[in-house]
């Protein structure tokens, strides 16, 4: 089945720095890769996603890149702000076709002022 | 907020007791999901349902049961067979993914925190 590995588990940066979170997946059939942000005590919310036919996608300060050959994808946050502090989860479609997602274990991002 | 409502926010279970977590959505989504979240473990799929009166086991279904009698509702029962039920439970919903052209964008409820007395 699908297995999603996410690194690092924690990441501390200074305000204004960039942050990068990396994920690898095992099922070459996976074709959809969303990223969710979960603030403390709140529900996970989708922040950006990418399909397997696209190599990169940007939305203001966040971007996601995908390398299908290597089966890894990354989240990039530029000009980090304290409100970016949260747990970030990557996910990949499968292993039950397109009907489910397999999530990574999460990265706690701490942005210090 | 809104769209997916989970209740209660906090729940306590006694030894040998079954408890039921509620999940209701008004997004007209066909698919609904239950996840368990433990510290450092991410979100693990318990059960999911793509359509009314049908549901499938996820990765950690043992000790749990579900029903899907209405499109809007997908309750989860944590049975006494689940020996380690203390966790944060999240319900989600999405449009039904009938093929690779449809994104499985899942929307989450606010969660129920279950503890054992």
Tell me the C-alpha distance between B30 and A81, whole Å: 37
Tell me the C-alpha distance between A62 and A47, whole Å: 8
Mean pLDDT computed over every residue of chain A: 93
Tell me the C-alpha distance between A90 and A67, whole Å: 14
- For residue B98, pLDDT beyond 90: no
How many alpha carbons lie under 13 Å from residue A109 in its C-beta half-sphere? 30
- The pLDDT of residue B102 is 65
CB distance B67 to B23 below 8 Å: no
Residues of B in CB contact (< 8 Å) with A are 31, 33, 35, 40-45, 48, 50, 56, 58, 90, 96-100, 102-111
Indicate the Cα dihedral angle A66, A42, B66, B75, nearest 10°. Answer: -140
Three-state SS letters, chain B: CCCEEEECCEEEECCCCCEEEEEEECCCCCEEEEEEEECCCEEEEEEEEEECCEEEECCCCCCEEECCCECCECCEEECCCCCCCCEEEEEEEECCCCCCCCCCCCEECCCEEEEEC
Tell me the pLDDT band of A95, cut-offs 50, 70 and 90: low
- The pLDDT of residue A71 is 95
Mean pLDDT computed over every residue of chain B: 92
> How much is the average pLDDT of A89-112?
88
User: A10 contacts in B (CB within 8 Å)?
Assistant: none
- For residue B1, pLDDT beyond 60: no
Q: What is the pLDDT of residues B11-59, one digit of tens each?
A: 999 888 999 999 999 999 999 999 999 988 899 999 999 999 999 999 9
Tell me the pLDDT band of A23, cut-offs 50, 70 and 90: very high
Tell me the C-alpha distance between A68 and A41, whole Å: 34
Among the partner-chain residues B45, B104, B110, the one whose CB lies closest to the CB of A43 is: B110
- The pLDDT of residue B18 is 94
Answer whether A34 sits within 8 Å of B105, measured CB to CB.
yes
Tell me the C-alpha distance between B32 and B117, whole Å: 29
More confident residue, B110 or A2: B110
Q: What is the pLDDT of residues A27-45, one digit of tens each?
A: 988 889 999 999 998 999 9
- The pLDDT of residue A97 is 62
């Amino acid at each position: 089945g699908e297995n999603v590995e996410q690194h690092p588990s924690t990441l501390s940066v200074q305000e204004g720095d960039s942050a990068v979170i990396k994920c690898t997946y095992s099922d070459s059939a996976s074709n959809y890769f969303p990223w969710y942000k979960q603030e403390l005590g709140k529900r996970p919310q989708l922040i950006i996603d990418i399909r397997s036919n696209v190599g990169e996608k940007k939305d203001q300060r966040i971007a996601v890149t995908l390398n299908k050959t290597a089966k890894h994808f990354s989240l990039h946050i530029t000009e980090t702000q304290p409100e970016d502090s949260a747990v970030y989860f990557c996910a990949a479609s499968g292993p039950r076709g397109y009907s489910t997602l397999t999530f990574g274990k999460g990265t706690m991002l701490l942005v210090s002022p | 907020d809104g769209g997916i409502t989970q209740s209660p926010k906090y729940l306590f279970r006694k030894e040998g007791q079954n408890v039921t977590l509620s999940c209701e959505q008004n997004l007209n989504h066909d698919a609904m999901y239950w996840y368990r979240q433990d510290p450092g473990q991410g979100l693990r799929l318990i059960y999911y349902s793509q359509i009314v009166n049908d549901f499938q086991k996820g990765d950690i279904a043992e000790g749990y049961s579900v029903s899907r009698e209405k499109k809007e509702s997908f309750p989860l029962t944590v049975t006494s067979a689940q020996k380690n039920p203390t966790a944060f439970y999240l319900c989600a919903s999405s449009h039904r993914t009938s093929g690779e052209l449809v994104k499985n964008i899942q929307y989450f409820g606010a969660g129920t925190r279950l503890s054992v007395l």
